[in-house]
């Protein structure tokens, strides 16, 4: 009889062509009996989830399974890149499930963040994509902060699947590992359950909880192409993506000055009143302040020595930049009940994937330059 060409762990068709795709196994292992794909092998042996990237069409086909078998959806988003974390077209697949938004990487947030304000803002952003949000939870899958709440929420879900959904790099794998480690209780932790011969490429993970078996379903992470992290090399990323808690950087800015956030964002202060602005970005990101009239020269001639990021190679994929008008007076926006009072406190200009800039709320007219594929968002001030 012919050897099965299917991973005995997850049921994916085995292949040795593309290691980012499901079912990858080194060709040397292909012909052995009872082969596990590399991902299942690592889960079994090292307790580790590997991110798998898939195409858009493949992805849609896979998440369609959620509609057919509704359950609880843990929708993982990156607190530093909310817009880059929103999964396209998710709404129609999860309309009959319960969705809890898991806001990951809060270990990076500065001290003093107004979590209720952040929660409301995130809820609004996600609901604007027509996804009905049951709850918003803050966690750090890395430091395990907030994990108690997640465990508490999933523990009774013994009769329906629990899906973990999110864009690539939001921390889905880290979260699943953090969940799994809570249930392992000292013994051989978890197994990847077998799927019946299959076109369905979701990996399942059964965990024995105190109130019964929990069936987690890991969905692959999509890649946008319109996120800062999708456009930068590892060296550039080490300057841009925060890896430790952000320390706010305060600048007293005069009209007629420009501030560069590396070479990724540029804020021109054209007119208004002298004010303190605060940058909440990676502690490694080079910040450069200059006169507005010098800014074009710096932009053109000092990308590599002063601005540093993106590097020459990454600049090619960044393309052109686009200005966004920024005007602020004492804020008059009305906010829903229970969220933060914005009046006179200024607001945050959010740059997805990079962080945010807080304007004081006094008069400011100017513009913010960003890569043309990246749009800023505004929200009531968080800190």
| List of residues contacting ligand GDP (CB under 6 A) | 51, 104-105, 107-108, 140-142, 166, 168-174, 221
Q: Give Cα 55 distance to the centre of its chain.
A: 18
- Shortest distance, position 211 Cβ to ligand GDP, whole Å: 26
Cα–Cα dist 89/62, whole Å:
12
Measured from the CB atom, the residue of 150 and 326 that comes closer to ligand GDP is: 150
Exposure string over 308-330, b if 16+ CB within 10 A, otherwise e:
bbbbeebeeebeeeeebebebee
Structure tokens that stand for 91 in this block: 């709404």
Cα–Cα dist 310/308, whole Å:
6
- Shortest distance, position 141 Cβ to ligand GDP, whole Å: 4
- Shortest distance, position 291 Cβ to ligand GDP, whole Å: 36
- Shortest distance, position 244 Cβ to ligand GDP, whole Å: 8
Q: How many CA atoms lie within 13 A of 248 on its CB side?
A: 17
CB 34 within 8 A of CB 8: yes
Measured from the CB atom, the residue of 285 and 307 that comes closer to ligand GDP is: 285
Q: What are phi and psi of 12, to 5 degrees?
A: -65, 150
Number of residues that this document lists for the chain: 383
Measured from the CB atom, the residue of 221 and 346 that comes closer to ligand GDP is: 221
- Shortest distance, position 76 Cβ to ligand GDP, whole Å: 6
- Shortest distance, position 375 Cβ to ligand GDP, whole Å: 22
- Shortest distance, position 146 Cβ to ligand GDP, whole Å: 9
Measured from the CB atom, the residue of 233 and 250 that comes closer to ligand GDP is: 233
Measured from the CB atom, the residue of 142 and 292 that comes closer to ligand GDP is: 142
- Shortest distance, position 106 Cβ to ligand GDP, whole Å: 7
Structure tokens that stand for 317 in this block: 């994929």
Report the C-alpha dihedral over residues 86, 92, 96, 99, rounded to 10 degrees: 0
Measured from the CB atom, the residue of 169 and 328 that comes closer to ligand GDP is: 169
Measured from the CB atom, the residue of 97 and 173 that comes closer to ligand GDP is: 173
Cα–Cα dist 134/139, whole Å:
16
- Shortest distance, position 303 Cβ to ligand GDP, whole Å: 26
Cβ atoms within 10 Å, residue 270: 16
Task: Please tell me whether residue 347 adopts helix, strand or coil conformation.
Answer: strand
Q: Give Cα 372 distance to the centre of its chain.
A: 20
Please name the residue that has the structure tokens 């330059």: 369
CB 282 within 8 A of CB 241: yes
Measured from the CB atom, the residue of 4 and 238 that comes closer to ligand GDP is: 238
Question: What does the DSSP assignment read for 139-189?
Answer: --TTT-TTHHHHHHHHTT--SS-EEEE-BTTSSHHHHHHHHHHHH-TTS--
Q: Which residues, in sequence order, are CB contacts of 113 under 8 Å at separation 6+?
A: 382, 383
Measured from the CB atom, the residue of 171 and 263 that comes closer to ligand GDP is: 171
């Amino acid at each position: 009889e012919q050897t099965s060409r299917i991973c005995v762990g997850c049921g994916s068709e085995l292949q040795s062509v593309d290691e980012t795709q499901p079912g990858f196994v080194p060709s040397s292992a292909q012909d052995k009996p009872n082969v596990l794909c590399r991902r299942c092998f690592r889960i079994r042996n090292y307790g580790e989830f590997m991110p798998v990237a898939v195409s858009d069409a493949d992805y849609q086909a896979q998440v369609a399974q959620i509609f057919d078998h509704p359950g609880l959806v843990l929708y993982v988003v990156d607190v530093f890149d909310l817009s880059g974390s929103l999964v396209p077209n998710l709404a129609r697949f999860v309309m009959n499930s319960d969705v809890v938004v898991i806001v990951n990487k809060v270990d990076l947030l500065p001290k003093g963040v107004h979590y209720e304000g952040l929660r409301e803002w995130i809820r609004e952003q996600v609901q604007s994509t027509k996804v009905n949000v049951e709850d918003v939870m803050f966690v750090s899958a890395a430091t395990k902060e907030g994990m108690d709440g997640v465990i508490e929420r999933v523990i009774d879900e013994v009769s329906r699947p629990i899906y973990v959904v999110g864009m690539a790099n939001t921390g889905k794998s880290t979260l699943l590992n953090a969940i799994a480690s809570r249930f392992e209780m000292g013994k051989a932790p978890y197994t990847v359950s077998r799927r019946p011969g299959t076109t369905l490429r979701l990996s399942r993970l059964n965990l024995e909880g105190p109130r019964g078996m929990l069936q987690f379903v890991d969905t692959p992470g999509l890649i946008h192409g319109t996120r800062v992290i999708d456009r930068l090399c590892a060296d550039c990323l080490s300057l841009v993506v925060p890896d430790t808690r952000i320390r706010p950087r305060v600048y007293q800015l005069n009209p007629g000055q420009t501030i560069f956030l590396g070479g990724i964002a540029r804020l021109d202060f054209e007119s208004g009143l002298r004010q303190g602005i605060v940058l909440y970005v990676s502690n490694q990101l080079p910040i450069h302040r200059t006169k507005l009239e010098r800014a074009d020269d710096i932009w053109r001639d000092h990308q590599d020595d002063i601005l540093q990021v993106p590097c020459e190679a990454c600049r090619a994929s960044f393309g052109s930049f686009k200005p966004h008008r920024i005007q602020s007076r004492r804020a008059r926006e009305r906010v829903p009940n229970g969220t933060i009072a914005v009046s006179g406190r200024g607001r945050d200009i959010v740059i997805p994937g990079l962080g945010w800039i807080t304007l004081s709320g006094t008069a400011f007219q100017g513009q913010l330059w960003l890569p043309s594929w990246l749009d800023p968002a505004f929200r009531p001030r968080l800190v």
